[in-house]
Chains A and B, each alone.
Chain A
Amino acid sequence: MTAESALRFEALEVQAEQIMGIFARAGYERVAPSFIQPADIFLDCIGEALRNRTYVFTDPDGQELCLRPDLTIPACRIYLERNPHADAPARYAYNGPAFRYQAEPDALRPREFRQAGIENFGAADREQADAEVLALILDAVRLAGLTGFEIRCGDLGLFRALLSALPIPARWQDRLLHSFWRPGAFQSVLRRLASPPAALPDPAIAALAERLDPADPLAAEQEVAAFLDAKALTLLGARNLGEITTRLLSAAADMREQPLSGHVVTLVEDYLKISGTPDAALAAIAALSKDAGIDLAAPLAVCRRRQVLLREADIDTNALHFDADFGRQFEYYSGFVFQIELPGRGIAGQIAGGGRYDGLLASIGAERDAPAIGSAIHTERLLASKGGAR
């Protein structure tokens, strides 16, 4: 689509420049991330869905590279180059192509498409930054003439908070969070945790796991090392003794643990079904937490404060649609997530999306987690959708 007609490309660029103007006036510095990126970082961070759709290749030096499948991680890399300690605030804007494999590319699913977007790093007031980014993206799509759209949103931080408030062992919370991105897998993990655990298949290993002392990980490691020695098993590869011991300890702990109660399972399932205006959804979550006797006051207060800030930024929060399980498509999202979509248009109607990703900078090399939120507009869909045109 991008290069098919010069006229179309020009219209696309005119629109993009208008959008970039809005971003610039709001203090977002224009950056031009490289098209070609190191494959490792992308493949490790973007999650399964996008991973299989990234064009990866090897250069003559044998280095693994990829064509950027989105611009968020490339923008993050620029930020880290300039701020190795990830400790200074920065606002970046970009406009350019991204590349994703499509089994059958067509106008709706091009393998090469353009994104205009912003990334906001290091803002200590997270809710303020959330409101700022959504407001700017709304300004941009409105200026481009988009009407009749809906805004879907969610908050992955709330789900995390719910899990940690429930009587669920930390390692089970990790398992649930790990599978959260794949609803089918999440359901089966939830069901597995609610039934009695299966014993380790090898009785000798089961006995070893029983013997390990969870309070003394070092002694436990030595015991595992002795077991491996006795069985003449050499430690091979990068996975270390500590990791093996951790899992044996957790298997032993699982055997001693009560399975999740039906009550907890229902609560998690009910939570994920909550849907409505943000105010109504937050009220429903508050009611659910009260019934369950758990304390979600702090995370709910954060969400309510964001609501206030969104309204102060002239956003009609009653026009937002909150889904508790929204935001399962990108593994790096960690908090507020949103999408601007035209109802009934399917994938062509997904005009813009974004969210908070406070853990991403650390996972690509920053010394610590740093606040970050960004959003990108699919400019071709935006252009195609205006004035009811297909």
Chain B
Amino acid sequence: MSAEKLILGVPSKGRLMEQTADYFAARGLAFARTGHERGYRGEIAGFDDVEIAYLSASEIARHLQLGRIHLGVTGEDLIREHIADADQRCDFVAKLGFGRADVVVAVPECWIDVATVADLEEAAAIFYREHGRRLRVATKYMNLTRHFFARAGLVSYRLVESLGATEGTPAAQTAEIIVDITTTGTTLRANHLKILADGLILRSEACLVASRVAARPDAVRVAEARIRTQLAQFGATATIGADGEAPPRARASAGKRKRPG
């Protein structure tokens, strides 16, 4: 990995990789793999000072957090899950309009007495008295869930980490409720689950994100400015914040950031 090149982290497989490549290609930034076809390095035609690192979507979040890559494309859900102070460490450059998914709280449809998070807290208190244990929440979004429930005042629960088939956990009796991503809600319905009325935790989509902590030699700053300018010509630089609103700081700091020395 060259110290003088800007590193752009891109999802290494699946729809997200294809859509990312299409998005950049449509804006005059065509990706090409270097080395053999299955390699994990790439470049952008006409941008010698940019290197593409193909990584898994969640690794991209971690690399941004640690400053190992300058820019990265991944889901906002993963950024906010893996980076505790995402708005400090990262600059959300653009929402890319694909990879849309909502992170939601879902409960069994048969819980006709539970429609909101406040209902859930009361149901949880009764559950604790009945069963002598807390309601279990299965999720891979441990941090997003913790923060959301803390804000909503829900305390009588236990998190159970689930790395796959989360929507099946209530039927399998390994959890009572889930926090998971959904696009159409079909999978949730098929598993007899419903979303709480105020259970939307995050409206996520793929984002282009800059790491605020990555070292930026002059060459990298030049490269980053070129990419941002190129994308801006296509109107893709709307900055975004936690609630989809543009934080003024994120917009202002992009140009102002200076490397000491």
Task: Give residues in A with beta carbon < 8 Å to B.
Answer: 40, 43-44, 47-48, 52, 174-175, 178-179, 181-182, 184-185, 188, 200-202, 205, 208, 224, 227-228, 233-240, 242-244, 246-248, 251, 363
Asked if B131 is at the interface (CB within 8 A of a chain A CB), the reply is yes
Apart from A202-B115, A236-B170, 14 more pairs, CB < 8 Å:
A174-B125, A182-B153, A184-B153, A185-B153, A201-B115, A205-B112, A205-B113, A228-B110, A233-B112, A236-B171, A237-B176, A239-B123, A243-B123, A363-B132
List the 10 closest A-B pairs by CB distance, nearest first.
A247-B113, A236-B108, A48-B155, A237-B170, A233-B110, A185-B153, A178-B125, A205-B112, A248-B113, A237-B176
Find A188's partner among B111, B125, B153 (CB 8 Å cutoff). B153
List chain A residues, Cβ under 8 A from B111. Answer: 239, 244
A182 touches B192 (CB 8 A): no
Could you show 6 A-B contacts with beta carbons less than 8 Å apart?
A181-B155, A233-B109, A236-B108, A238-B173, A239-B123, A243-B130
The total of interchain contacts (Cβ-Cβ below 8 angstroms) comes to 89
List chain B residues, Cβ under 8 A from A205. Answer: 112-113
Which single residue of chain A is at the shortest CB-CB distance from B177? Answer: A237
A234 touches B110 (CB 8 A): yes
Known A184-B153, A236-B192; contact A247-B110, beta-carbon cutoff 8 A: no
List chain B residues, Cβ under 8 A from A246. Answer: 126
List chain A residues, Cβ under 8 A from B108. Answer: 235-237, 239
B113 touches A251 (CB 8 A): yes
List chain A residues, Cβ under 8 A from B18. Answer: none
List chain A residues, Cβ under 8 A from B197. Answer: 201
List chain B residues, Cβ under 8 A from A238. Answer: 127, 131, 173, 176
A235 touches B110 (CB 8 A): yes
Inter-chain CA distance A205–B194, complex, in Å, is 15
A239 touches B176 (CB 8 A): yes
Inter-chain CA distance A191–B171, complex, in Å, is 37
Q: How far is the CB of A25 from chain B (nearest CB, A)?
A: 38
A247 touches B119 (CB 8 A): yes
List chain B residues, Cβ under 8 A from A48. Answer: 150, 155
List chain A residues, Cβ under 8 A from B153. Answer: 179, 182, 184-185, 188
Fill in one digit per residue for B80-124: 1 if any A CB lies within 8 Å of its CB, else 0: 000000000000000000000000000011111111000101110
Find B158's partner among A44, A224, A227, A243 (CB 8 Å cutoff). A44
Q: How far is the CB of B80 from chain A (nearest CB, A)?
A: 18
Inter-chain CA distance A200–B175, complex, in Å, is 26
Find A44's partner among B115, B121, B134 (CB 8 Å cutoff). B134
Q: How far is the CB of B171 from chain A (nearest CB, A)?
A: 6
Asked if B27 is at the interface (CB within 8 A of a chain A CB), the reply is no
Known A235-B110, A236-B110; contact A200-B130, beta-carbon cutoff 8 A: no
A244 touches B176 (CB 8 A): no
Asked if B33 is at the interface (CB within 8 A of a chain A CB), the reply is no
Max chain A Cβ within 10 angstroms of own Cβ: one of B113, B119, B126, B153: B113
List chain A residues, Cβ under 8 A from B135. Answer: 239
List chain A residues, Cβ under 8 A from B131. Answer: 238
Fill in one digit per residue for B124-162: 1 if any A CB lies within 8 Å of its CB, else 0: 011110111111000000000010001001011010000
Max chain B Cβ within 10 angstroms of own Cβ: one of A174, A236, A237, A240: A237
Max chain B Cβ within 10 angstroms of own Cβ: one of A43, A188, A239: A239
Find B123's partner among A43, A224, A247 (CB 8 Å cutoff). A247
Max chain A Cβ within 10 angstroms of own Cβ: one of B108, B127, B135, B175: B108
A243 touches B112 (CB 8 A): no
B110 touches A244 (CB 8 A): yes
Q: How far is the CB of A230 from chain B (nearest CB, A)?
A: 11
A248 touches B112 (CB 8 A): yes
List chain B residues, Cβ under 8 A from A251. Answer: 113
Inter-chain CA distance A178–B192, complex, in Å, is 30
Q: How far is the CB of A49 from chain B (nearest CB, A)?
A: 9
Q: How far is the CB of A165 from chain B (nearest CB, A)?
A: 22
Q: How far is the CB of A185 from chain B (nearest CB, A)?
A: 5
B130 touches A44 (CB 8 A): no
